[in-house]
């Protein structure tokens, strides 16, 4: 049995400096626990880390593996369509590749997608059925 | 600017029934907000979703893309090595592919990796420098 828990999300990246600059341009601030070779960002109750792609493959016990992206998507939920548009524009300005500009979607909300410099996919969305807590966390109603 | 926030992690899967059975074997319970075609699990302040791989590619605005796995890793932190071992064994028993059996690692902790039925990579780890809150959430010291 395992708890329904994710405490750390690690993104394997080609160039830590490039990726750090990208997330900095989005306004993300590295935590002092960051070290040479790994950058950590505190989120609400969990951490996002940037780590060299080859280092990550080695850490996974398969140093020769080619790791792929796209099939796991990270989403940021927002309270309004305007906030989604702002986040999407900020990502493009920071050098993201736009995959789908935000638009109204079949499930009643508003959603767009972009990819970070290594192809990690982020969704920016507003779901009227999913109110966010004051701290930005999401508990399903 | 975007907040340092992940509210939803979506795993693209080949077979929702197979993946649902895998996470059920780990003790995960779908949230009632789950619908035909998408399964949600509540975590602390964020949600994990299972969604068809082709549906996810289409949702990303690139229906013909082949989405890859491995370069984004999800970690579960635990308080003891024994808890890590238990989680790793439970995953193998549920049908996960072991990538690296838990072992002591250079950063002073204990860590193993497995892949779920679609190749999504999970780390199970104990980091003595990263105490968990009572609810299992992680705030860096």
What is the percentage of chain A residues whose pLDDT exceeds 70? 100
**Phi, psi angle pair for A87, to nearest 5°:** -65, -40
* Residues A73-126, CATH architecture: Roll (3.10)
Tens place of pLDDT for every residue, chain B, 141 residues? 789 999 999 999 999 999 999 999 999 999 999 999 999 999 999 999 999 999 999 999 999 999 999 999 999 999 999 999 999 999 999 999 999 999 999 999 999 999 999 999 999 999 999 999 999 999 999
What was the ipTM of the complex prediction?
0.95
Chain B residues in contact with A102 by the CB 8 A cut-off are: none
**Fold equal for A8-59 and A73-126:** yes
pTM of the predicted model as reported, rounded to 2 decimal places = 0.95
- Domain B8-59 sits in CATH at 3.10.180.10
**Number of helices (H), then strands (E), in chain A:** 3, 7
Using the predicted structure, report yes or no on whether residue A140 has a pLDDT greater than 80: yes
Residues 6+ apart with CB under 8 A from B102: B81, B84, B85, B88, B110, B111, B112, B124
Nearest-by-Cβ selection for B113 from A11, A60, A139: A60
Side-chain half-sphere exposure of B125, counting CA atoms within 13 A? 29
Q: Which of residues 79-138 of B touch A (CB under 8 A)?
A: 86-87, 90-91, 99-100, 105, 111, 113, 118-121, 123-125, 129, 132-133, 135-138
CA proximity to A70, closest of A99, A105, A33:
A99
A93: three-class secondary structure by DSSP: helix
pLDDT tens-digit map of A95-138: 999 999 999 999 999 999 999 999 999 999 999 999 999 999 99
What is the domain partition of chain B in residue ranges?
8-59, 73-126
């Amino acid at each position: 049995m395992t708890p329904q828990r994710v405490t750390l999300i690690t993104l394997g990246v080609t160039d830590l400096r490039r990726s750090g600059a990208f997330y900095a341009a989005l306004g993300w601030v590295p935590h002092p626990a960051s070290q040479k070779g790994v950058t950590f960002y505190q989120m609400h109750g969990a951490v996002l880390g940037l780590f060299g792609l080859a280092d990550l493959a080695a850490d996974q016990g398969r140093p020769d593996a080619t790791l792929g992206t796209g099939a796991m998507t990270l989403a940021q939920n927002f309270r309004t369509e305007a906030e989604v548009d702002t986040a999407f524009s900020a990502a493009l300005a920071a050098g993201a590749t736009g995959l789908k500009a935000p638009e109204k979607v079949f499930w009643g909300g508003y959603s767009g997608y972009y990819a970070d410099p290594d192809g990690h996919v982020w969704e920016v969305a507003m779901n009227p059925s999913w109110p966010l807590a004051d701290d930005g966390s999401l508990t399903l109603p």
